[in-house]
Amino acid sequence: MTFPQEGDRAVDYRAAARGDQLPRIGPVVTIDKITGTLIITSDGGRYRLSDHRPVAQGRFSDRQLIAATDDRVLVARGREMLAALAATVANLAKLDHTHSYEVLGALGEIGRDVVTYRKTLTNLMVDAVRQKREQGEKS
């Protein structure tokens, strides 16, 4: 079975445009219905079946409906996490630390964030592999 199928999880993916650092990814939705020409998602989105692009936009739209398990989604989510971590580090580095235990606490906060982001991305990757296997078994 290939994407899309009714019940598949998907995201609205927008490739990074000039000046954008990261691609934009919408929330995970479910494909509710597929007609002869349309894909209809759980949030009411309507995409052309032929190219998975939004109906309301032209054929050259930078938006596209892709599987939530697509590696582009995982990479983009990982990059979002790295950007959030970088912002945390930058903010903590700007603070006026007057004692070594404050610096140690800041490093602990960074460490907790790293563990959380790594666990989150690992779970997303495991879920993607599981779904791809299940799709392979169905076909």
Is the pLDDT score of 111 beyond 60?
yes
Reduced to 3 states (helix: H, G, I; strand: E, B; else coil), residue 58 is: coil
Query: Residue 54, preceding bond cis, omega within 30 degrees?
Result: no
74 contacts 82 by C-beta, under 8 angstroms: no
Residues in contact with 61: Cβ distance below 8 Å, sequence separation at least 6, in sequence order: 53, 54
**Cβ atoms within 10 A of the Cβ of 67, count?**
23
Lowest mean pLDDT among 3-7, 29-33, 57-61, 90-94: 57-61
Tell me the domain boundaries of the chain: 1-68, 69-139
The position carrying tokens 């009411």 is: 44
- The CA distances from residue 3 to 12, 52, 112, 127, in Å, are 14, 10, 36, 16
Global pTM value: 0.76
| Tokens read off for 24 | 């934009």
Is the pLDDT score of 118 beyond 70?
yes
Is the pLDDT score of 10 beyond 80?
yes
The band of 130, judged by pLDDT with boundaries at 50, 70 and 90, is: confident
pLDDT of residue 139: 57
> Could you read off the pLDDT of 21-64 as tens digits, one per residue?
678 898 999 999 999 999 999 999 999 999 999 998 877 888 89
Mean pLDDT value across residues 80-86: 93
10 contacts 28 by C-beta, under 8 angstroms: yes
| Tokens read off for 47 | 């995409």
